[in-house]
Amino acid sequence: MGGKLFRNFSFFSATLSFFLLIGIFAILFTYAQEALAEFGFDFLLTETWEADEDDEGGVFGGYIPIIGTLLSTLIAMSIAVPLAMGIAIFLTEVASENIAKPVSIAIELLAAIPSIIYGMWGLFYFAPIVQSAVGGNGVGLLTAGIVLAIMIIPFMAAITRDAMNTTPHVLKESAYAMGATKFEVIKDVIMPYSKGGIIGSIILALGRALGETMAVAFLIGSVMSTVKNVTDPTTSIPVLLANNFAEAQDLEMSSMYYLALILFVVSFAIISTAKFYFLGRKPK
């Protein structure tokens, strides 16, 4: 009886998740119909976002926020992935227990900090450092990407650490007994065994980086401007939606649903590709 109840509940939960995904896509697609009919796929290459208040129309394009989202995420992931992997390896294989425990707690506490706190810290403290180091006005794509990386490192490091801790000691001890170095044990035993958890941590961090709003809104500049330098201010899809959604009407509102649909599809495509490609590869 208990097994059947658990099986039915699990099936219901999985089915509900699937239909929620389909429902979100359907709603976004439905409300984006006006913008799809007006702009079509030219929306993806148009840099203008101007509302015409007289006839509640205008010209709207998603090129700048799309590029801003992808570039800020790329910067964040490029910084966060190697640092998070290094932190996890240090905590599981290098640090003593007296060091690993407090550092692990500190990382988990960093993950609990609200994103708006990261945004305020980045704006008032970190942006002047970036400005003095690389130029610009401190607020721009680079600052947003670096702070976004700092935000997602705790998630990635904590999950990767837990995945690496599941590696059986007998496998590691057998490798050491055969003369493997610590680096070889990490590379050839621990990393392949915990591959699923590591890829899962990267996917979760990637999803947060693509959809982060408040911290990026403080730091990216919120300017509809094409990026010519990594320090230039620009905008992203979540930031544009957050800033304009309350005042948008008619065609502009539909264009924002179009942007949300694009973010949904891009996130789903990137995460699905990463999941099926990396998890499907066999370790050498």
Residues 81-118 pLDDT 10s: 999 999 999 988 888 888 888 888 888 888 888 888 99
- Residue 103, pLDDT score: 87
For residues 103 and 227, give the distance between their C-alpha atoms in angstroms, rounded to a whole number: 37
pTM: 0.85
pLDDT given for residue 2 in this prediction: 67
What pLDDT shows up at residue 38?
A: 86
Predicted pLDDT of residue 17: 87
Decide if pLDDT at 237 tops 80: yes
pLDDT at 276 over 70: yes
Quote the tokens at residue 185. 């044990």
Mean per-residue pLDDT of the chain:
86
What pLDDT, on the 0 to 100 scale, is given for residue 175? 87
* Cβ pair 215, 119 in contact under 8 A: yes
pLDDT at 165 over 50: yes
Domain regions of the chain by residue span:
63-280
Tell the CATH topology of 63-280.
MetI-like fold (1.10.3720)
Cα–chain-centroid distance for residue 115?
13
Is 90 exceeded by the pLDDT of residue 136? no
pLDDT at 54 over 80: no
Q: What would the mean pLDDT of 193-212 be, rounded to a whole number?
A: 86
